[in-house]
Structure 1
Amino acid sequence: RTLQNAYALPGLRRHNLPYIVMPQGGLPPELRRTAIKYIYDAFYGRRLLREASRLHALTELERQQYLALGLPDGKIIVIPNGIDVTAYEFEVDVAAFKRRYNIPEGRPVVGFLARLNHIKGPDFLVDAFAEVLRHKPDAILMLAGPDDGVLDELEAQIDRLGIRQAVRFTGFIGDEETKAAAYRASDVYVLPSRYEIQGITVMESLLNAVPTITTDRCGLATTFVESGIGRVVPFGDVDALAGEIVYLLDHPAEAKAQAEYGRQYMKENFNWDTLADRWIEVYRTCIAERIGHRV
Structure 2
Amino acid sequence: MKILHVVPSFAPCFSHGGVVNASYQIAKKQVENGHDVTVYTTDSCDERLRFEKNYDVDVDGIKVFYFKNLSNTFKNKATIDTPVSLINYLKRTIRNFDIIHIHEHRHSLAIATHRYAKKYDVPYVLQAHGSVLPFFQKEQLKEIFDKMWGFDILHNASRVFALTEVEKEQYLKMGVSEDKIEIVPLGINLDEYDNLPAKGSFKSKYNIGENEKIILFLGRIHEIKGLDLLIKSFNRTRNDNAKLVIVGGDYGFKNELEILINNFNLKDKVIFPGVLTGRDKIESLVDCNIFIMPSRYESFTTSGLEAMACSKPLILTKNNHIHTWVKDTVGLVCEFDEIELANCIETLLNDDELCETFGQTGRKLIESKYDWNKVSKQIESIYEKCITKY
Q: Same fold (TM over 0.5)?
A: yes
Alignment of 1:201-280 (within 5 A): 201-225=303-327, 228-235=329-336, 237-280=337-380
- Please identify, of 40-49 and 245-254, the stretch whose mean Cα deviation from structure 2 is larger: 40-49
Say if 1:70 and 1:161 are closer, same or farther in 2 by CA, change over 3 A: same
User: Residue 110 of structure 1 aligns to a residue in which SS?
Assistant: strand
Question: In the aligned structure 2, how far is the partner of 1:96 from the partner of 1:16?
Answer: 53
Residue equivalent to 1:124: 229
Residue equivalent to 2:382: 282
Residue equivalent to 2:279: 177
Residue equivalent to 1:101: 206
Match of 1:62 among 167, 171, 180: 167
Residue equivalent to 2:176: 71
Question: In the aligned structure 1, how far is the partner of 2:147 from the partner of 2:280?
Answer: 46
Match of 1:187 among 268, 289, 294: 289
State the one-letter code of the partner of 2:379. W
**What is the CA distance between 1:84 and its match in structure 2?**
0.3
Structure (1 or 2) with the greater helix fraction: 1
Q: Mind listing any 5+ residue stretches in structure 2 that lack a counterpart? A: 1-105
> What is the number of equivalent residue pairs in this alignment?
285
Question: In the aligned structure 2, how far is the partner of 1:167 from the partner of 1:9?
Answer: 45
**What is the CA distance between 1:95 and its match in structure 2?**
2.3
Question: Residues 186-217 of structure 1: CA distance to partner in whole angstroms, max 9, x if unpaired?
Answer: 11110111122211110111111111111222
> TM-score with structure 1 length normalisation?
0.86
Question: In the aligned structure 2, how far is the partner of 1:172 from the partner of 1:56?
Answer: 28
Question: In the aligned structure 2, how far is the partner of 1:180 from the partner of 1:44?
Answer: 40
State the one-letter code of the partner of 2:165. E
Say if 1:6 and 1:169 are closer, same or farther in 2 by CA, change over 3 A: closer
Say if 1:277 and 1:110 are closer, same or farther in 2 by CA, change over 3 A: same
Alignment of 1:6-17 (within 5 A): 6-14=111-119, 16-17=121-122
**What is the CA distance between 1:182 and its match in structure 2?**
0.9
Residue equivalent to 2:31: none
Question: In the aligned structure 2, how far is the partner of 1:267 from the partner of 1:187?
Answer: 21
**What is the CA distance between 1:154 and its match in structure 2?**
1.1
- Please identify, of 260-269 and 88-97, the stretch whose mean Cα deviation from structure 2 is larger: 88-97
- Please identify, of 211-220 and 1-10, the stretch whose mean Cα deviation from structure 2 is larger: 1-10
Instruction: Quote the sequence identity (%).
Output: 28
**What is the CA distance between 1:142 and its match in structure 2?**
1.6
Question: In the aligned structure 2, how far is the partner of 1:14 from the partner of 1:171?
Answer: 45
Say if 1:46 and 1:261 are closer, same or farther in 2 by CA, change over 3 A: same
Question: In the aligned structure 2, how far is the partner of 1:108 from the partner of 1:50?
Answer: 48
Residue equivalent to 2:301: 199
Residue equivalent to 1:140: 243
Residue equivalent to 1:46: 151
Structure with more relative contact order (C-alpha pairs < 8 Å, separation 6 or more):
1
State the one-letter code of the partner of 1:240. E
Structure (1 or 2) with the greater strand fraction: 2
User: Residue 169 of structure 1 aligns to a residue in which SS?
Assistant: strand
User: Residue 191 of structure 2 aligns to a residue in which SS?
Assistant: coil
Question: In the aligned structure 2, how far is the partner of 1:170 from the partner of 1:17?
Answer: 45
User: Residue 209 of structure 2 aligns to a residue in which SS?
Assistant: coil
